[in-house]
Amino acid sequence: MRVGVLTGGGDCPGLNAVIRAVVRQGVKTHGFEFVGFRDGWKGPLEGLTMELGIKECRGILPRGGTILGSSRTNPFKIDDGVERIQANLASSGVDALVAIGGEDTLGVATKLADLGVHVVGVPKTIDNDLSGTDFTFGFDTAVNIATEAIDRLHTTAESHHRVLVVEVMGRHAGWIALHSGIAGGASAVLIPEQPFDIEAVCAHVETRFQTQYAPIIVVSEGAVPAEGGDMTVTSGELDAFGHVRLGGIGDRLAREIEQRTGKEARAVVLGHIQRGGTPTAFDRWLATRFGLQAIDAVADGDFGKMVALRGTDIIRVPLSEGTAQLKLVSPKEYAEAAVFFG
């Protein structure tokens, strides 16, 4: 069998570990041949391919990014997009596809599977917001990077008696903010799921200063104030899946805290630092296991499925189930963090 592999959406530490495991298991156990499609769905859409075998996968396990490249191309938004993909898969002799991506890439995979394309999905996102799997790889790396940043910011904030606002990624879900905020001992964690009260945030800032300790506020890029108004920040630009580009809430929040409390406040935006570089051991382990199981699903002809982590087991769930809804932070989980605010 000839199998195509692609990585779509925002890159994520661990993508190369999945590719390596898919290829290694596919060649050694199942005798498959592989072709790499470049830049997400753009690859099969435009026939952009690269060689992919054990040789191409040597040394990539600890490398961030993806050797295949990525994009946010949506073939369903392009005239004849689906027909072009089907034609290119046929002309490159590809019998099945392994699509590694988040809600958007796997959303396309779901629709293609419904149209009869042989596809198996592997969930990926640093945001950890895909339902159907306990964790996505890349998340642990992002949380560790954010936690290290918070640890470092504590000492400088304390020396200068400043407030430091740390903006982390998380468009719809506050998992990175929640985990790194708890691990880093934040004075407040602000997430998209729970609109925040700026007065309460300022009260946490004051309390922290009263105990001679500098406040660190961790805020997801998608967090919004309860009162609405002009603290909601977007650039207005939309990607091919209709998502606005976020960013700027950290700066806006720092200014507001400074005005309301009279304490100096600065913002740090971690941005793509959270997505780049080498994956943690956990993410390499999870990505490797996802890759092994995904190619086994291909070998079983079990298409239209996504691999998922449940407890310590890797299982297969229908692609449609894995992408049906976002996994959000519950009020109960948020309340656990709130004990430490102030």
Binding site for ligand F6P (CB under 6 A): 10, 102, 125-127, 169-171, 221, 245-246, 275
Residue 21 CB, shortest distance to ligand F6P, in Å, is 22
What CA dihedral angle connects 101, 103, 107 and 109, to 10 degrees?
A: 20
> Whole-angstrom Cα distance, residue 153 to residue 166?
9
Sign of the dihedral defined by the CA atoms of residues 331, 333, 336, 337, in that order: negative
- HSE at residue 205, side-chain half, CA atoms within 13 A, is 27
Q: Closer CB to ligand F6P, residue 39 or residue 127?
A: 127
Catalytic residue among 39, 104, 127, 283: 127
Q: Closer CB to ligand F6P, residue 110 or residue 125?
A: 125
Residue type, 96: A
Judge whether 41 and 208 are in contact, CB under 8 Å: no
Q: Which helix (H) or strand (E) holds 251?
A: helix 249-261
Task: Tell me the sheet residues that pair with 268.
Answer: 166
What are 197's two structure tokens? Answer: 């009260």
Q: Closer CB to ligand F6P, residue 34 or residue 139?
A: 139
- Going through the chain in order, the beta strands assigned E by DSSP cover 2-7, 33-37, 49-51, 96-101, 119-123, 163-168, 188-190, 216-220, 234-238, 244-246, 265-269, 305-310, 313-318
Examine the residue annotation and report whether 127 is marked as an active-site residue of this protein. yes
Q: Closer CB to ligand F6P, residue 203 or residue 244?
A: 244
Residue 234 CB, shortest distance to ligand F6P, in Å, is 11
Q: Closer CB to ligand F6P, residue 208 or residue 327?
A: 327
Residue 145 CB, shortest distance to ligand F6P, in Å, is 12
Q: Closer CB to ligand F6P, residue 143 or residue 202?
A: 143
Residue 342 CB, shortest distance to ligand F6P, in Å, is 27
Provide DSSP, 270-289.
-GGGGTSSPPPHHHHHHHHH
Judge whether 279 and 124 are in contact, CB under 8 Å: no
The β-bridge relationship of strands 234-238 and 216-220 is unpaired
Residue 126 CB, shortest distance to ligand F6P, in Å, is 5
Query: Angle at the Cα of 143 (from 63 to 158), degrees rounded to 5?
Result: 120
Residue 165 CB, shortest distance to ligand F6P, in Å, is 17
Q: Active-site positions?
A: 127
